[in-house]
């Protein structure tokens, strides 16, 4: 499923019994304004409202000239997401 907002977009799906969040993109004009957090939290809420209790997976791949990979991992973990190096 895709979520599109005026400030960015993100996708999520359920595969092999787990939800995955991917393709998070915040448009440059709106970066560093908590829009990524807002969009991710909306998706997390949608998933949790289905009754899903397991880990929600995400891969930490920062864009060039963006946040460091370690800071991105911490950001995702603070939202309660399970960070993976890759999807298996």
Per-residue pLDDT of 25-49, as tens digits, reads 999 999 889 999 999 999 999 999 9
Q: Where are the domains of the chain?
A: 2-13+23-78
Q: Write down the pLDDT at residue 68.
A: 86
Q: 31 has which bridge partners?
A: none
3-state secondary structure at position 14:
strand
Give me the mean pLDDT over the 2-19 stretch: 95
Q: Name, in order, each residue with C-beta under 8 angstroms of 51's C-beta and a sequence gap of 6 or more.
A: none
Alpha-carbon separation of residue 52 from 22, 65, 73, 84, 86 (angstroms) = 18, 35, 22, 19, 22
Degrees (nearest 5) of the Cα angle 40, 67, 60? Answer: 55
């Amino acid at each position: 499923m895709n979520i599109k907002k005026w400030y960015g977009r993100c996708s999520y799906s359920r595969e092999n019994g787990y939800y995955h969040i991917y393709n998070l993109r915040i448009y440059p004009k709106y970066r560093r304004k908590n829009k990524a957090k807002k969009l991710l939290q909306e998706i997390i809420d949608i998933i949790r409202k289905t009754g899903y209790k397991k880990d929600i997976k995400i891969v930490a791949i920062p864009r060039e000239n963006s946040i460091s990979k370690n800071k991105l991992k911490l950001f995702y973990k603070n939202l309660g997401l399970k960070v993976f190096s890759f999807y298996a």
